[in-house]
Amino acid sequence: MARTSSDGTPLPSRFRYPRSLRSPLAVVGCVIVVIWLLIAVFAPLLSPADPILNTPNRLAPPSGDHLLGTDTLGRDVLSRVLYGSRVSIPLSLLLVVMSVTLGSVLGAIAGYFGKIVDEVIMRITDLVFTFPTIILAMVIAAVLGPSLQNAVVAMLIVTWPAYARVMRSLVISLRTREYVLADRLLGFSAWRILGVDITPNVLGSIVVLATLDVGTSILLLSGLSYLGLGAVPPTAEWGSMIAVGTQNMDQWWIAVFPGLAILSIVLAVNFIGDSLRDALDPQTAGSMRAA
């Protein structure tokens, strides 16, 4: 839909996304993410060894046999790093999907129906926001008991409010637009209005938030595992591997490689999310989890 200035010359349309996504950072990000996705899928084929197999060859430095060395139980670090992607990536994606869904639905309901429903939902989000994220996740995970499922539940509780807030404010601002009012006059149900009029317009902001959240989730999950509240042995998970590495500082390879794995994928996701944000949504350039 081209717009024109007052003397008839066409103005550039607002949707500039192809150019921003061609930025070098975004391209690098996509490449790295694709590589990790392939690793996650093909880890069994790519790993030289069984990630949970203990061998007597403990704490061995990187060599021909074990490219990244072995850990305290003689397990091959390279294989564990590769398999770690099968824990972090799917769980983070799952978490983001659940969190976005739960948060958006609750936020949309709060924004659209208002009054008591709005108050209740907003007070709940306020309660979550009174704590820094990791602390609250840690407390919940500690109470529930260490396991990957519980860690995901804890993270879900902590992350949905941000989406609820965003969705709510977007819905409120759109609620009074003409086409929504028109549909209400025409008698369409609330659900239809939410689905057809409102959702397409908020998609951009939500997508940006969600992409950046994938990175945050990977960090949060590995952080919880580092504390002993997420993955349990013998699962190969990056955060818990770094925890082991902390106890064995001389064997630097145990902690360094999992950390590099986390860094590379989160950085890649952030590159993509950042470029998406430039392209799609100038508004949310501000704070994401603040009031």
Residue count, binding to another protein (CB under 8 A) = 53
Residues whose CB falls within 8 Å of the CB of residue 171, separated by 6 or more in sequence, listed in order: 107, 108, 110, 111, 112, 194, 198, 202
Which of 47, 92, 205, 222 forms a contact with another protein (CB under 8 A)? 222
Should residue 62 be labelled a site residue for another protein when binding is judged by CB under 8 A? no
Distance between CA 103 and CA 164 in Å, rounded? 4
Minimal distance in Å, beta carbon 80 to another protein? 15
Nearest partner of 87 among 50, 134, 40, judged by Cα: 40
Which of 135, 182, 190, 196 forms a contact with another protein (CB under 8 A)? 135
Should residue 138 be labelled a site residue for another protein when binding is judged by CB under 8 A? yes
Distance between CA 58 and CA 56 in Å, rounded? 6
Nearest partner of 271 among 25, 85, 89, judged by Cα: 25
Of 40-48, 97-105, 191-199, 264-272, the window that binds another protein (rule: CB under 8 A) is 264-272
Interface mask toward another protein for 144-183; x: CB under 8 A: xxx-------------------------------------
Which of 62, 114, 228, 234 forms a contact with another protein (CB under 8 A)? 228
For 145, left (φ over 0), alpha (ψ -120 to 50), or beta? left
Which of 165, 236, 245, 279 forms a contact with another protein (CB under 8 A)? 245
Distance between CA 234 and CA 32 in Å, rounded? 27
Rule CB under 8 A: which of 105-124 touch another protein? 123
Should residue 25 be labelled a site residue for another protein when binding is judged by CB under 8 A? yes
Distance between CA 291 and CA 107 in Å, rounded? 13
- For CA atoms 193, 197, 201, 203, give the dihedral sign: positive
Of 2-10, 44-52, 170-178, 196-204, the window that binds another protein (rule: CB under 8 A) is 2-10
Which of 274, 276, 279, 280 forms a contact with another protein (CB under 8 A)? 274
Should residue 143 be labelled a site residue for another protein when binding is judged by CB under 8 A? yes
Should residue 134 be labelled a site residue for another protein when binding is judged by CB under 8 A? yes
Minimal distance in Å, beta carbon 57 to another protein? 23
In the chain, alpha helices (H): 17-21, 24-46, 77-113, 115-129, 133-144, 148-175, 178-185, 190-192, 199-226, 238-247, 253-280
Minimal distance in Å, beta carbon 135 to another protein? 5
Minimal distance in Å, beta carbon 281 to another protein? 13
Of 62-70, 94-102, 106-114, 246-254, the window that binds another protein (rule: CB under 8 A) is 246-254
Does residue 234 have a cis bond before it (omega within 30 degrees)?
yes
* Residue burial 214-252, b: 16+ Cβ < 10 Å; e: rest: bbbbbbbbbbbbbbebbbeeebbbbbbbbbbbeeeeebe
Helix (H, G, I), strand (E, B) or coil at 4: strand
Which of 103, 107, 111, 239 forms a contact with another protein (CB under 8 A)? 239
User: Rule CB under 8 A: which residues touch another protein?
Assistant: 5-7, 25, 123, 126-127, 130-136, 138-146, 215, 219, 222-223, 226-229, 239, 242, 245-246, 249, 252, 255-256, 258-259, 262-263, 266-267, 270-271, 274, 285-287, 289-290
